[in-house]
Amino acid sequence: MTSVLAMVNKVKKIVSVVGARPQFIKALPVSLALKDSFKEVLIHTGQHYDKDMSQVFFDELKPLSSHYNLGVGSASHGCQTGQMLIRLEGVLLKEKPDLVLVYGDTNSTLAGALAAVKLHLLIGHVEAGLRSFDKKMPEEVNRVLVDHMADFLFCPTQASVNNLLKEGIKENVFQVGDVMYDSVLLFQKKAESSSKILKKLKLEPKEYLLCTIHRASNTDIKENLSSIIKALIESGEKTVFPVHPRTRKYLSEWGLDQLLKKAPKVRIIKPLGYLDFLQLEKNARKILTDSGGVQKEAYFFKVPCLTLRETTEWIETVEAGWNKLVGTKPETIIQAIKEFFPPKRQKNLYGDGKSSEKIKEILMKKLS
């Protein structure tokens, strides 16, 4: 009798797969929510590996910790995803989870879902249903494939639910809100009290612009990266630019690092930890970015956002008037820096900060 009860009450095991900077930030609130009801095993694929792209987040986002680091590192898409697939399969066979949880749209997300589906394991996709409708973006291919493999689809927004409906995905689609909003609510006070970044960079609130760039379409094409850098320099604005390693490589490859050396108003710095970066976002006058997560965080902090792309998955921020798609043309970017002002009011687009709890509740019901 006891053993039957023990079997019925057996704690279910969830394997979460992460690998890139934004996924550590998304996984933390979910890990916290799962803690008392599930056994979670976190696998870091090793897609990001520099200290300031990986370890800094495990140091700050306590108690997030990885049980495995697969050490895959950088390579071409096929090679990187293939290596992840091989190594993930071994761990999944060993761990025998009841569900595999994947986040967002990176190669780690695709490999996690593919490894799981081939082993007939259940898959949950956090940040499901996002679409840019641009198949040249590697992330778009990853999102579409993962959504069609997933058993439980945790959508942040109504638009993402609608996208899935249009592709015929109707079952087990849950609009839970955005887990990145959960993270911001968990960490913004700590960022406020512990980050010294404004002092360190000698910045006053609202006197500077914050810029991040890392999309392949912006970094790998010389014309596009040159055009964005030209806009930053010619705007004459004080700009802080924490540079992603991919972008650093291409700034050097395209000779733009030399141009930036002669432009003291554009401050090139290393990628920052989450707490410092939140502080810089919150106090920026405007944010220029091609990042998905940063577009949302700009909205959470009520900072106007200029998105250096032609499309966005976070379309509701544009519709709400807080985000403008400016592409890469210097005149368009400079004009928006000077003239883009959002409305005074904001709608709550991303839930109530309890998305992770909702995910846990759903999984408890579905896996019981």
Give the separation between CA 103 and CA 52, rounded to whole angstroms. Answer: 20
53 is a contact residue toward ligand UD1 (CB under 6 A): yes
29 is a contact residue toward ligand UDP (CB under 6 A): no
Of ligand UD1, ligand UDP, none, which one sits near residue 49, judging by CB under 5 to 8 A according to partner kind? Answer: ligand UD1
Cis peptide leading into 63, omega within 30 of 0?
yes
User: Which of positions 1-30 make contact with ligand UD1 (CB under 6 A)?
Assistant: 20-22
**Which range of residues in 29-37, 113-121, 243-251, 275-283 is near ligand UD1 by CB under 6 A?**
243-251
- 120 given a catalytic annotation: no
The two beta strands, 13-18 and 39-44, are parallel
| Pattern 241-280, ligand UDP, x by CB under 6 A | -x----------------------------xxxx--x---
Of ligand UD1, ligand UDP, none, which one sits near residue 275, judging by CB under 5 to 8 A according to partner kind? Answer: none
Q: Please report how close the Cβ of residue 145 comes to ligand UDP at its closest, in angstroms.
A: 17
The answer to whether 330 touches 220, Cβ cutoff 8 Å, is no
> Structure tokens of 21?
């900077």
Write down the H helix ranges in 274-348. Answer: 274-283, 292-300, 315-319, 330-339
For ligand UDP (CB under 6 A), the number of binding residues is: 16
Task: Select which of 44, 48, 125, 214 is catalytic.
Answer: 214
| CA separation, residue 335 to residues 56, 225, 240, 324 (Å) | 36, 18, 19, 11
DSSP 3-state of 223: helix
The answer to whether 88 touches 111, Cβ cutoff 8 Å, is yes
Rg (C-alpha) for the chain, rounded Å, is: 21
Q: Which is nearer to ligand UDP, 41 or 275 (CB)?
A: 275
Residues contributing to the site for ligand UDP (CB under 6 A): 21-22, 25, 212, 214, 242, 271-274, 277, 291-294, 297
Residues contributing to the site for ligand UD1 (CB under 6 A): 20-22, 47-50, 53, 74, 105-107, 138-139, 214, 245-246, 249
